[in-house]
Amino acid sequence: MRIYTDELMTAQILFEFIGYAASILIAISLMMKSLIRLRVLNGIGALVFVVYGILIKAYPVAVLNGLIVVIDIYYLVNMMHRKDYFSLMEVTPNSRYLQFFLNFHLEDIRNFFPSFSYQPCAADLIFFVLRDTIPAGLVIIQQDEQTGKVLLDYALNDYRDFKIGAFIFDDNADLLQQRGIDRLTAKAEVPFHAKYLRRMGFVPDQNGDYQKELLSHFIQD
């Protein structure tokens, strides 16, 4: 009888641990800024709750969370197969909207570019990346003959899925080459940005900067 009781208590502790783990996963998912990460963690947490509900024979809990798993999978599939329409909107260095955008997002920009401070120069190339006609990012390139120094490559929080970078640096490489730029350089002040640059095909050099040779692609409208 004692052995049976001990086994029952051990099982109960295990079940409680599973329940707490599921709750923690759900709570963490709600703190995610990325919708994809939110759905993934929420779905995993709900799946653990399904196991928890079955183990303690709380079948309504298992059924409800099973539905949540299905819903999360549905939205994840839609996100992965969503077709976005990207376009570039070039503006002048003295654009009032550019200044408004930079001032409004400056605090977040400095999370990735801590020393960023922009002084307009007539030769700079400045592109807003529009995603389904919505401003989703901003790229500022300072041209020095055939080299383009990337002063800013910023994406709004909801659009940090690497698609914007690929659109400007790969899909529209010809656009930059038409302006006489064959090579891009960039600096990484934070680890996340360094990881991003590598993902975009930039290679670190001996000075700690990042370089990318542009390859020709069909220009996207």
pLDDT of 44 over the 70 cut = yes
User: Among all chains, which residue has been given the structure tokens 């004692």?
Assistant: 2
pLDDT band at 4 (very low <50, low <70, confident <90, very high): low
User: What is the average per-residue pLDDT within 65-79?
Assistant: 89
Closest to 199 in 3D by CA, of 138, 149, 141, 153: 153
Closest to 215 in 3D by CA, of 175, 165, 187: 175
pLDDT of 29 over the 70 cut = yes
Closest to 137 in 3D by CA, of 108, 116, 179, 94: 108
pLDDT band at 91 (very low <50, low <70, confident <90, very high): very high
16 strand-pairing partners: none
- Measured over the CA atoms of residue 46, residue 52, residue 56 and residue 59, the dihedral's sign is positive
User: What is the average per-residue pLDDT within 103-109?
Assistant: 93
Chain segment 131-176, per-residue pLDDT in tens: 878 888 999 999 888 888 999 999 888 777 667 777 888 787 888 8
The burial of 180, by beta-carbon neighbours within 10 Å (0-12 exposed, 13-18 middle, 19 or more buried), is given as exposed
pLDDT band at 121 (very low <50, low <70, confident <90, very high): confident
pLDDT of 70 over the 90 cut = yes
- Per-residue pLDDT at 55: 86
- Per-residue pLDDT at 6: 58
pLDDT band at 92 (very low <50, low <70, confident <90, very high): very high
Task: State percent of the chain over pLDDT 70.
Answer: 90
C-alpha distances in Å from residue 43, one per residue of 50, 52, 63, 96, 116: 10, 14, 14, 43, 38
The burial of 203, by beta-carbon neighbours within 10 Å (0-12 exposed, 13-18 middle, 19 or more buried), is given as exposed
